[in-house]
């Protein structure tokens, strides 16, 4: 009897030791596992160029972080999903990253319509997203406490342009925008700005994201008697609009909004049709020393070139870098890669990215506020086939 009792105790002890060693092994494995960050971008479809540039910037951030020891002593790994420039695909990608890949945070999803489509999934599962590009006001106004945006909403972008409206000598403005939440929001914000300044607004025309022929819209704009055209879409479509406007001899000052114009790419693709155009941007790779952190901006431009990435992608690529370092900093502040802990830590993030300072303030309905950072905003001009600072914007 005593022998049987002793064997039972011994068996229990062996099992307990085994279970303990398994738990310890799991803890060690978890501690050594990479910190996985989800990324949702348009890697194919009409705006694929922009999405791939952001991926390139994100990869630079990952490699720089890992070269410095990673986060919490663990390597950073990017789990990248293609939203195919489609809102439905963006929602599916968010669910995959959360359910299948168990990521503690996501960066995405370029277009406002894509981000808005993914947002219910973030709230359903309780996972934060750092929004690196989207500018529709509804993203932070809707009331989703899992959203943290480092790009400016169109209203903030319009405020950034306000000091230059008089210097641009705008008399009457027309609008041509992609028919998405981004485009519609941009027309509203910049239209409100001009009305506030007492300036008349003419036509407001839209084009589908995949459209290649905008001649009908340009023909209507020609009849308004305006002197300025605000243009909101991705760089591929901007190129087509500039060429078609030149063919129709549209005489307008053209100002692109949203920071996705890639002026260097326009010089290559649109040639003389891009001459004289103005572009709102959030990173000036032509003058990196003029950015809030000149050393970081210069290092980013140098690393971009070292990897053989196209220079024209820099005005998008910086977003990928800044989004990833923001999430990595939140994981560091949280002390773990738990989604709720990362969400709470994002409110305490305070760093400087390629664009400038990143710090979130509350925006949206009480109790369900999203985070909004206030990015740096600049305006450049294509002059004599080169990117230059307008005379009125030089400091």
- Domain harbouring 204, CATH code: 3.40.50.2300
Q: Backbone phi, then psi, for 143, in 5-degree steps?
A: 100, 60
Cα–Cα distance, 333 to 330 (Å, whole number): 5
Give 81's strand partners: 40
In this prediction, residue 9 carries a pLDDT of 54
The verdict on residue 1 lying in a domain is no
Q: Which domain holds residue 308?
A: 33-152+290-372
The verdict on residue 387 lying in a domain is no
The verdict on 312 and 207 lying in the same domain is no
In this prediction, residue 29 carries a pLDDT of 46
In this prediction, residue 339 carries a pLDDT of 98
Q: Backbone phi, then psi, for 146, in 5-degree steps?
A: -105, 5
The verdict on residue 386 lying in a domain is no
Count of structural domains, the chain: 2
Domain C-terminal end among 254, 281, 308: 281
Whether the upstream peptide bond of residue 109 has omega within 30° of 0, thus cis, is: yes
The verdict on 244 and 272 lying in the same domain is yes
In this prediction, residue 30 carries a pLDDT of 52
Domain C-terminal end among 281, 304, 336: 281
In this prediction, residue 100 carries a pLDDT of 98
Q: Kindly report the pTM of this predicted structure.
A: 0.88
Cα–Cα distance, 143 to 208 (Å, whole number): 28
The verdict on 86 and 63 lying in the same domain is yes
In this prediction, residue 268 carries a pLDDT of 95
The verdict on 135 and 68 lying in the same domain is yes
The verdict on residue 13 lying in a domain is no
In this prediction, residue 25 carries a pLDDT of 46
The verdict on 47 and 114 lying in the same domain is yes
The verdict on 113 and 144 lying in the same domain is yes
The verdict on residue 27 lying in a domain is no
Domain C-terminal end among 248, 281, 314: 281
The verdict on 146 and 38 lying in the same domain is yes
The verdict on 266 and 337 lying in the same domain is no
The verdict on 228 and 276 lying in the same domain is yes
Cα–Cα distance, 220 to 24 (Å, whole number): 70
In this prediction, residue 253 carries a pLDDT of 96
Q: Backbone phi, then psi, for 176, in 5-degree steps?
A: -135, 120
The verdict on 258 and 311 lying in the same domain is no
Residues lower than pLDDT 70 in the chain: 1-31, 395
The verdict on 162 and 276 lying in the same domain is yes
The whole-angstrom distance between residue 69's C-alpha and the CA centroid of its chain comes to 26
Cα–Cα distance, 381 to 287 (Å, whole number): 13
The verdict on 219 and 134 lying in the same domain is no
């Amino acid at each position: 009897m005593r022998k049987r009792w002793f064997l039972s105790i011994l068996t229990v002890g062996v099992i307990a030791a085994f279970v303990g060693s398994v738990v310890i092994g799991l803890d060690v494995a978890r501690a050594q596992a990479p910190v996985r960050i989800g990324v949702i971008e348009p890697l194919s479809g009409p705006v694929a160029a922009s999405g791939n540039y952001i991926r390139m910037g994100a990869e630079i951030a990952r490699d720089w972080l890992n070269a410095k020891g990673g986060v919490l002593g663990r390597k950073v790994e990017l789990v990248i999903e293609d939203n195919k420039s489609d809102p439905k695909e963006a929602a599916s990608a968010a669910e995959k990253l959360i359910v299948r890949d168990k990521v503690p945070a996501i960066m995405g999803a370029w277009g406002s319509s894509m981000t808005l489509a993914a947002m219910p999934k973030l709230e359903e599962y309780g996972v934060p997203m750092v929004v690196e590009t989207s500018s529709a006001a509804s993203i932070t106004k809707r009331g989703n406490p899992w959203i943290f945006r480092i790009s400016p909403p169109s209203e903030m972008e319009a405020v950034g342009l306000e000091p230059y409206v008089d210097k641009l000598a705008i008399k009457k403005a027309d609008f041509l925008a992609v028919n998405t939440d981004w485009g519609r929001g941009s027309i509203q914000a910049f239209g409100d700005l001009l009305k506030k300044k007492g300036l008349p607004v003419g036509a407001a025309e839209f084009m589908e994201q995949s459209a290649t022929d905008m001649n009908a819209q340009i023909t209507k704009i020609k009849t308004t008697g305006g002197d300025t055209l605000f243009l909101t879409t991705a760089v591929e479509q901007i190129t087509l609009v500039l060429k078609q406007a030149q063919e129709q001899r549209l005489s307008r000052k053209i100002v692109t909004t949203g920071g996705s114009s890639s002026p260097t790419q326009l010089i290559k693709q649109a040639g003389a049709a891009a001459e004289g155009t103005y572009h709102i941007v959030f990173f000036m790779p032509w003058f990196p020393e003029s950015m809030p952190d000149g050393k970081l901006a210069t290092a980013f431009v140098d690393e971009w070139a070292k990897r053989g990435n196209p220079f024209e992608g820099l005005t998008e690529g910086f977003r990928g870098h800044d989004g990833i370092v923001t999430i990595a900093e939140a994981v560091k502040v949280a002390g773990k890669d738990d989604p709720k802990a990362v969400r709470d830590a994002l409110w305490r993030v305070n760093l400087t990215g390629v664009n400038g300072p990143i710090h979130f303030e509350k925006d949206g309905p009480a109790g369900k506020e999203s985070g909004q950072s206030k990015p740096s905003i600049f305006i450049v001009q294509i002059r004599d086939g080169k990117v230059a600072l307008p005379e009125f914007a030089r400091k």
